Structure 1
Amino acid sequence: MSKKLLVGAGVAFSLLFGSFNQAFAESPTVGERKQVDNVAHRGATGYAPENTIAAFDLAVEMKADYIEIDVQRSKDGKLVLIHDTTVDRTTDGTGKVGDLTFDQLRSLDAGSWKGEQFVGEQIPTFEEILERYHGKVGILIELKTPELYPGIEEQVAKALKERNLDKPQNEKIIIQSFNFESMKKVNDLLPKVPVGVLTSNRADTTAEALQEFSTYADWFNPSYGIVTEELVNQVHSLGMKIGSWTVRSQEAADFLFEMNVDAIITDYPDYVDPRN
């Protein structure tokens, strides 16, 4: 239902039933927007350093429905949260994530680049995030370049199973990746956990490609630059949901609302949720 229809209905009710329903009529905008999942991209990264506890705590405070996290692996086999395959951009260190031990990664400052108030923020572990946030906020888990970390799918599955997060009653766990073969594997390992495929390639939006994704994926998550109303309708017709990224402006958020996507992945949760 469009905003115009909702507002019109609210006005009609207020005329018929007085001030109580006039108050009721003021709420549809919030109600409409809450139909879209608000996903904090690497946490509330517009305001805090990405993939850190500070960013995730802020996302929860800002009422995000999900936090999105990037999972990689240290040299000695620990699952850690960082987006780039090197530590250079977001820490005071240098080198490839997979070439550094967990202790080396943990010793890095992952916050000061964003501001003095974040000095000392550390690279979190996957297990820490599960323990701290499950039951409080949904967790959208991205396997980042899983081809670099053979067996990472099994590791992630094991960590989820140990916490009973592979069961259907825990609906707010989703796993996604740009690596489609990895997602097929995850679907086999965790058949009750929703799987998403990421893309910015228009070649992945053909009818044939979407049909193939629908055989194992529950979410089709494209960059917002390739989102169209037709694409959203196609995805929905195949029984999948669609979440789009990465929103860094109010205009982009508003565009995706108009497209009727199911989730908006954003650095700024307040652009998506009018309660902020």
Structure 2
Amino acid sequence: MRSFKYSLFLLLACLACSPSEVVYEEYIPDYSLQEKAVASLLKKHPIEIVVHRGANHLAPENTFAAAAKAIELGVDYVEIDVHRSLDGVHYIMHDLGLGRTTDGWGPIRLRTSEYIDKLDAGSWFGEAYAGEKVPRLEEYLRWIKGKAKAYLDVKTADLEEVVRLVRKYNMEDETFFWFWSDSMLEEFSVLAPELRVKINAHSVEEVMEAKEKYDADIIECNVQEITPEMVQLCDSLGIQIMAYASSNTAEEFKTVIKSEADLVNLDKPGLYLEVLQAMQGL
């Protein structure tokens, strides 16, 4: 029975992908971005800030609103997740399914852009964000260019199209990438050897493997795993270290700030700034 329901859903989705008269209207919110005073603390801060799914504690994750909140705090990168719709449009969303963060349902890969573009991706977080849309990747890159850089966690995609968009908006030096599978990474490396990739590595041995096997530009690990030996090796190989903030507590942020990480991937940029401000005695 479950197999029949899935087959029926796939059939309906394919039928919905047939040509229609619907004309897509571009969605790029006109946010009046006001940089917070504390953002100035990051300008001379040696560790670049990567905000996971945008400022997801202040606005709905993976939306323009979450990115805007992060930009106002002066972050360096906004991390986004990339999925492809049934008809080949790339969107920013974390989950495989639409149900958790929108008023839609079903796998995003089996939904058309016409369906996804109508969804509300903000009401689940709060009434103030009702009507927030699921961002299309192309519109998002065009909007964020010059405001912040982007870290793309690519989950399902036409890699040629993703590379085309990054090059179209001249963001080769303003992006880096991570992939769900080795096969996607291998394909990407052939398509765009100039674009930077991140690999998870938790030891000196894994750092060596990341460089030899994947030519990694950035490795990500827990802050406790950043040893003098790892720092020395990464320096010699031209690899940056990104600390992953797993708990996003003040104590963890203190450890990150004292570490030799080049970047930090976190969820609470506001708290990080508070800790940084306190440690600088301001």
With the length of structure 1 as denominator, give the TM-score of the two structures.
0.76
Say which of 183, 195, 198 aligns to 2:197. Answer: 195
CA-based RMSD: 2.5
Conserved 8 A contact 1:183-1:196: no
Structure 1 pair 188–271 and aligned structure 2 pair: CA distance change class (3 A)? farther
CA distance in 2, matches of 1:233, 1:88: 45
Match of 1:205 in 2: 202
Match of 2:151 in 1: 140
Structure 1 pair 227–155 and aligned structure 2 pair: CA distance change class (3 A)? same
Match of 1:214, SS state, is: helix
Structure 1 pair 49–228 and aligned structure 2 pair: CA distance change class (3 A)? farther
CA distance in 2, matches of 1:226, 1:93: 40
CA distance in 2, matches of 1:230, 1:271: 30
Which residue identity is paired with 2:177?
I
Match of 1:110 in 2: 121
Q: Are 2:42 and 1:36 equivalent residues in the alignment?
A: no
Which residue identity is paired with 2:253?
A
Structure 1 pair 207–36 and aligned structure 2 pair: CA distance change class (3 A)? closer
CA distance in 1, matches of 2:43, 2:252: 17
Conserved 8 A contact 2:245-2:253: no
Q: Which deviates further from its counterpart, 89-98 or 205-214? A: 205-214
Q: Are 2:106 and 1:95 equivalent residues in the alignment?
A: yes
Structure 1 pair 228–95 and aligned structure 2 pair: CA distance change class (3 A)? farther
Match of 1:272 in 2: 272
What is the number of residues matched between the two proteins?
Answer: 234
Deviations 1:201-224 (A, max 9, x none): xxx434443212114110012355
Conserved 8 A contact 2:96-2:108: yes
Say which of 57, 60, 73 aligns to 1:49. Answer: 60
- Percent identity, please: 30
CA distance in 2, matches of 1:184, 1:252: 34
Match of 2:4 in 1: none
Match of 1:129 in 2: 140
CA distance in 1, matches of 2:105, 2:236: 46
Structure 1 pair 50–232 and aligned structure 2 pair: CA distance change class (3 A)? farther
CA distance in 2, matches of 1:154, 1:270: 36
Structure 1 pair 31–47 and aligned structure 2 pair: CA distance change class (3 A)? closer
CA distance in 2, matches of 1:91, 1:35: 37
Unaligned runs of 5+ in 2: 1-39
Match of 1:217 in 2: 216
Match of 2:83, SS state, is: strand
With the length of structure 2 as denominator, give the TM-score of the two structures.
0.75
Match of 2:91, SS state, is: strand
Match of 2:252 in 1: 252
The Cα shift of 1:183 comes to: 2.5
Which residue identity is paired with 1:157?
V
Unaligned runs of 5+ in 1: 1-28
Match of 1:235 in 2: 234
Match of 1:158, SS state, is: helix
Query: Equivalences for 1:151-162 in 2 at 5 Å?
Result: 152-162=158-168
Say which of 184, 187, 192 aligns to 1:185. Answer: 187
Q: Which deviates further from its counterpart, 75-84 or 88-97? A: 88-97
Match of 2:206, SS state, is: helix
CA distance in 2, matches of 1:263, 1:257: 10
Match of 1:38, SS state, is: strand
Which residue identity is paired with 2:135?
P
Match of 1:50, SS state, is: coil
Deviations 1:125-169 (A, max 9, x none): 11011110112211111112x4xx4xx221111111222333xxx
Which residue identity is paired with 2:142?
E
Which residue identity is paired with 2:240?
K
Conserved 8 A contact 1:91-1:111: yes
Deviations 1:157-185 (A, max 9, x none): 1111222333xxxx221122343442333
Match of 2:31 in 1: none
Structure 1 pair 230–259 and aligned structure 2 pair: CA distance change class (3 A)? farther
